Chains A and B, each alone.
Chain A
Amino acid sequence: MRTTPFYPRLRELNHSHMWGNWAGYLSATKYDLSSKHEYFGVRNAAGFFDTSPLNKYWIRGRDAERLCSYAFARDIRPVRPGRAQYTLWCDDAGFVMEDGVVFRTAGDEFLLTAAEPNLGYLRGLARAFDAEIVEATEDFASLAVQGPRSRDILAQLTPDVVDLPYFGFAETKVAGSQVLCSRTGFSGDLGFELFIPADQALPVLDAIIEAGTPHGLRPYGEEALNMTRIEAGLPLFGYEFTSSRYAFTHEERFTPDELGLGWTLRGLDDPTRPFIGREAILAERAGAEARWRTVGITMTWRDYYDLHASNGLLAIPDEVPVPWEVMIYDAEGSRIGYATSFMYSPILQRHVGIARVRPSHAEPGSEVFVEQTVNHEYVNVRALVTTLPFYNPPRKVAAR
């Protein structure tokens, strides 16, 4: 198993000794014995998470913008240098392959982060353009610093973070190293990500730890990451969807609208921007209703408690997201969807899930029933459909 450039320090910090496997790299499941503790670090102070295994690619050249605006479903053209954009890319049939973040570092240069390897795919596309794709994954160590204190902590190291707008970034110096620091993240909170030359990873991390410890900064692992991103309503590749490129069945692929990502497609009917999947998406929107809608679901404390108490059990909710899909039914017991992520949210004091349901049940406030196991029996428990995200503090996007 490979390790990331931060590993020598993370190994010292990982008191749980629990590591997961992220694309062949050791990635901490949790550093503390409790991921809830790390979660509160992010929600009430600050936490840092090693994102180095993310795939990173430079897209450069005279046609870089044209290539991006063709490859990605979201229009890159309004994005100025110094700004980043959440995006996704689709196949010709309008199904989502992947999502990622594009950083526009110059008029003709972009840095893309992606969950999965895409070098071959992007190079294939680039052939028709005056642009090159350069693999950069291992050139960077990348670190997310998230939470209400993240700005105060980083501001001690570089003044450039102070006025960064949401999805803005700056190339700046931290602890003597040139880093790209963006106001982005996966926690749904105020937060930043740093892209650090791999050989400078440790001094930069050490400086952040030193600045952050008095503020309650702590490392967090995959479990806490997963908790915070579910509260933020953010889809995670491998949970909410997988690449349509590798689908065997129609059930395994989804359109942007079905994933709740239709908002990225503003300007879809702009004829000056052909992109992969556009025709199919236009046809989908003109045609019959989508198969699914992505919604939030919540279960009240009362329903969860009564379910257990009436069966003679203690009601002890688990904040660690369940590793399976949770089936959703209507009042008559017909299946109308499934939750792709489901957990107890300590901040919201109730269970929450990201779910796909039939459009007929997608209105916020609709009553649905979630399948739970109690005393070795399946029981359907009342839940309510909500909008996403569940947690969205104003500080996430607010100016200082």
Chain B
Amino acid sequence: MSDTHAYDAIVIGAGHNGLTHAAYLAKAGRRVLVLEQRHLVGGAAITEELRPGFKFTTFSYALSLLRPEIIAELDLVSHGFMPLYMRSHFAPMDNGDYLLLGPDAGVNRQEIARHCKADVDGMERFEHDTLRVRQFLRPLFDNAPPNLFSADPQDAEQVAWLVKHLGSADAKLMHDCVRLITGSIADFVDDYLESEIIKATICSAACVGIKLGPMSPGTGLNWLYLAMGEHDGIAGSWAFHKGGNGGFTEVLARAATASGAEIRLNSRVDHLITEQGQAVGVALADGTEFRAPVVVSSLDPRRTFLQIADPRELPADLVQTIQRFRFQGVASKVNFALDGLPRYPALEGRTDQYLGFVNVAPTVEYMERAYDAAKYGWYSEHPYLDASIQSMIDPDMAPPGKHVMSCFVMYTPHELKGASWPAHREAMADRVQATLRRFFPGFDDLVLQREVVTPDIIEERTGLSEGNIYAGEFFPHQMYVFRPAPGYSDYRTPIRGYYQCGSGTHPGGCVIGAPGRLASMRVLADTR
């Protein structure tokens, strides 16, 4: 690389993908500068002490998609990586009953049988079939998509690999893949299960972060995407990083800086600087310039192509594709500081149901109706909540005896019809609290403080357009070789030296690191 620059590469944004990317480049000996607009690293993966002793996971709140190769290759354990075990999945029901799944397969059978005997093996068949799909798709997930639209022989080789791999599936496996990728999760689980609470539990996982209801085609794909995660090899299992996802991104920042990367906070990048179609650096909002022959944006496609780069330097069809790219964030967070543990009358005296997720989505219809509101530009009357009392898993999250509860809320569309979020934030949070009160009598009395994070706030603080948690919807036409645009799924851009490494690239969003890692392989190969 050229010696006239102080840096070999500049990374825009110190979210987890920017940090992962920087760590890989630095580990390969490159001089890397990471520029972050905020006063802290992490982007959508941060932990903030909003009240003395109470730590809130402002945005993302659990870990599963993170690729195990990253943990190993960046030796994250030596920098403090510590995924804590989330032991259970608790789903309260309207009639006061519940579904409580835990770590023991035999006990889970008994719990499922309590609701529906046929679902015991139904669930096991569902799990086996979907594990096969997951196993089959994993090589696609973990490698950069081949460029289907290029004439380069190297690309042709990869396309040939893809075709061969797809050809290796048997008929059932291929059919299951296509049914999941194109269909609705509600239809898919109907083939296996009868019990409403068990179906709802699976369907809820398919609706996280996406502007679709469980009965919409496309939710199968979202379910499958999230099921690509694992904790200690267990597919679809989630962990809580010590100190929250902010604890995790601090680990990444340590790994990056230990390899020599420099992270500059409070440094908002205004635009890319190019010379003769080649990226040569960036300019900050305050006018400061940094130069490097490689500039990598971890921002979402709208910002990467339409704001940081000058769209006039890009092909018009790419610009149009990015303009059409769907964001439409629908998720919010309501985070609570609690004076004690909520009560669930049917489990009086027990607390083990809080050692993982608390999933408020008692029926498939409940979720579909929650989604209905979003279609028409409003937030759900009865929201679907994916909650977790994180201080139960990591006591360092709250003072002894006190708790923090993270509540992920669906559906709260970024665009409210004829209204704005500042006027409705508290009313939305009141609905969340009313929902919790309905299942956990006396919940209000426990609330010491609440933090309400709606899509406008997500957008404003992280830069994720329209507050979409994945940096772009998980629709089939926005995934794999189409993410973020056909022909640009290889982490490059039409501007030489300008790359993308954020969640808007393959495989996509979540605290996953794969975009950062795969993009680093591209940059390192291109600049050998």
Seen from chain A, the residues whose Cβ lies within 8 Å of a Cβ on chain B are: 15, 32-34, 36-37, 40, 44-45, 149, 214-216, 300-302, 305, 309, 314-317, 319, 344, 346-350
Which of A33, A347, A350 touches B107 (beta carbons < 8 Å)? A33
State A347–B235 Cα separation when bound (angstroms).
18
User: By the criterion CB–CB under 8 Å, are B72 and A349 in contact?
Assistant: yes
- Mark contacts of B358-394 with chain A using CB atoms, 8 A cut-off: 1 yes-contact digit, 0 otherwise: 0000000000000000000000000000000000101
Confirm or deny: B401 has a beta carbon within 8 angstroms of a beta carbon on chain A. Answer: yes
State A15–B353 Cα separation when bound (angstroms).
13
User: By the criterion CB–CB under 8 Å, are A300 and B72 in contact?
Assistant: yes
User: By the criterion CB–CB under 8 Å, are A315 and B401 in contact?
Assistant: no
Confirm or deny: B521 has a beta carbon within 8 angstroms of a beta carbon on chain A. Answer: no
Which of A36, A37, A314 touches B235 (beta carbons < 8 Å)? A314
Contacts of B233 in A (CB 8 A): 314-317
Are A314 and B131 CB-contacts (below 8 A) given A44-B395, A347-B82?
yes
Chain A proximity of B247: nearest CB distance (Å)? 11
In the complex, how many residues of chain B place their beta carbon closer than 8 angstroms to a beta carbon of chain A? 32
Contacts of A214 in B (CB 8 A): 395, 400-401
State A346–B71 Cα separation when bound (angstroms).
12
Confirm or deny: B84 has a beta carbon within 8 angstroms of a beta carbon on chain A. Answer: yes
Q: List 11 A-B residue pairs with CB atoms under 8 Å apart, sorted by A's residue number.
A: A33-B103, A44-B82, A44-B394, A214-B401, A216-B395, A300-B72, A315-B233, A348-B77, A349-B72, A349-B83, A349-B232
- Mark contacts of B507-523 with chain A using CB atoms, 8 A cut-off: 1 yes-contact digit, 0 otherwise: 00000000000000000
User: By the criterion CB–CB under 8 Å, are A347 and B77 in contact?
Assistant: yes
- Mark contacts of B51-87 with chain A using CB atoms, 8 A cut-off: 1 yes-contact digit, 0 otherwise: 0000000000000000011011000110001111101
Closest to A300 in B: B72
Contacts of A15 in B (CB 8 A): 352
State A171–B394 Cα separation when bound (angstroms).
32
Contacts of A314 in B (CB 8 A): 131, 135, 233, 235
Closest to A37 in B: B87
User: By the criterion CB–CB under 8 Å, are B68 and A34 in contact?
Assistant: no
Are A215 and B400 CB-contacts (below 8 A) given A34-B85, A34-B102, A37-B85?
yes
Seen from chain B, the residues whose Cβ lies within 8 Å of a Cβ on chain A are: 68-69, 71-72, 76-77, 81-85, 87, 102-104, 107, 131, 135, 138, 232-235, 242, 352, 355, 392, 394-396, 400-401
State A44–B82 Cα separation when bound (angstroms).
9
User: By the criterion CB–CB under 8 Å, are A36 and B68 in contact?
Assistant: no
Closest to B72 in A: A301
Contacts of B71 in A (CB 8 A): 301, 349
Which of B84, B131, B232, B394 touches A317 (beta carbons < 8 Å)? B232
Contacts of A305 in B (CB 8 A): 68
State A348–B72 Cα separation when bound (angstroms).
10
User: By the criterion CB–CB under 8 Å, are B72 and A346 in contact?
Assistant: no
User: By the criterion CB–CB under 8 Å, are A346 and B104 in contact?
Assistant: no
Q: A33-B103, A301-B69, A314-B131 are in contact. List 18 more A-B contacts (CB 8 A).
A: A32-B352, A33-B102, A34-B87, A36-B85, A36-B232, A37-B85, A37-B103, A40-B84, A44-B242, A44-B394, A215-B400, A216-B392, A302-B69, A314-B135, A316-B233, A319-B232, A344-B232, A346-B85
State A218–B220 Cα separation when bound (angstroms).
39
Closest to B104 in A: A33
Contacts of B82 in A (CB 8 A): 44, 347
**Most chain A Cβ neighbours within 10 Å, of B103, B232, B242:** B232
Rank and list the top 3 A-B pairs by shortest CB-CB distance, nearest first.
A34-B103, A214-B400, A216-B395
Contacts of A149 in B (CB 8 A): 395
State A348–B138 Cα separation when bound (angstroms).
24
Chain B proximity of A74: nearest CB distance (Å)? 32
Are A316 and B103 CB-contacts (below 8 A) given A215-B400, A216-B395?
no
State A323–B273 Cα separation when bound (angstroms).
61
State A32–B351 Cα separation when bound (angstroms).
12
Closest to A312 in B: B135
**Most chain B Cβ neighbours within 10 Å, of A40, A316, A317, A347:** A40
Which of A37, A302, A315 touches B355 (beta carbons < 8 Å)? A37
Closest to B75 in A: A349
Closest to B233 in A: A316
User: By the criterion CB–CB under 8 Å, are B69 and A215 in contact?
Assistant: no
Chain A proximity of B387: nearest CB distance (Å)? 19
Contacts of A37 in B (CB 8 A): 85, 87, 103, 355
Chain B proximity of A357: nearest CB distance (Å)? 24
Contacts of A34 in B (CB 8 A): 85, 87, 102-104
Contacts of B394 in A (CB 8 A): 44
State A347–B83 Cα separation when bound (angstroms).
8
Contacts of B352 in A (CB 8 A): 15, 32
Closest to B76 in A: A349
Chain B proximity of A142: nearest CB distance (Å)? 25
State A317–B102 Cα separation when bound (angstroms).
18
**Most chain A Cβ neighbours within 10 Å, of B76, B82, B131, B395:** B395
Contacts of B131 in A (CB 8 A): 314
User: By the criterion CB–CB under 8 Å, are A302 and B102 in contact?
Assistant: no
Contacts of A347 in B (CB 8 A): 77, 82
Contacts of A315 in B (CB 8 A): 233
